[in-house]
Amino acid sequence: MNLSDYIKKRNGVPLGASYSLRNMMFRSFGAGKFSKFWKYWNPIWSYYLGKYIFKPLKIIFPASLSLLITFAFSGFLHDLVIMLLRWEFALLLTPWFLFMGFCVIIGDYVKIDYSKFTWTIRASINILIISSCLLIAYQVQI
């Protein structure tokens, strides 16, 4: 699947469409599972992470470990940009993304599903998970 098809599948509109960002936000935050949040979030970034990081790792490692490594890699790339801009070492986004990866795995493992709730409640749950992971990451910040 190419990038254009992937984005249309995730956002429901083609790459560059005027409602692309709105659809991504609406679908992501309104997802009834945290793993579905990530299915819709930032489809361009997830396309490349999936193609060049997750899928090759999945050949070597179990899917859950491959997912954690992919989340940590994504967080580290975000941290790397910040470190280059600030010229100082700091890791906050790497553990944050790693904790969110754990939440994806745990949520799927125990089959946490809040899709029957209203969009507002689903969005609140997703924001709560993201925020909680960030607060934990602040506690272990390197």
As given in the structure block, the two tokens for residue 114 are: 């809040």
- For helices 20-29 and 3-11, angle between their N-to-C axes, nearest 10 degrees: 60
CB 126 within 8 A of CB 104: no
Report the candidate in 17, 109, 116, 97 with the shortest Cα–Cα distance to residue 53.
Answer: 97
Mean of pLDDT values over 41-62: 95
Residue identified by tokens 């809040």 is 114
Q: Is the per-residue pLDDT at 142 higher than 70?
A: no
Give tens-digit pLDDT for 89-126: 989 999 999 999 999 999 999 999 999 999 999 999 99
Q: Is the per-residue pLDDT at 27 higher than 70?
A: yes
Please report which residue ranges of the chain form alpha helices under DSSP H.
Answer: 3-11, 20-29, 34-40, 43-49, 55-60, 63-86, 93-109, 119-139
With a pLDDT cut of 70, the percent of the chain lying above it is: 99
Mean of pLDDT values over 8-13: 88
Q: Is the pTM of this model over 0.85?
A: yes
With a pLDDT cut of 90, the percent of the chain lying above it is: 81
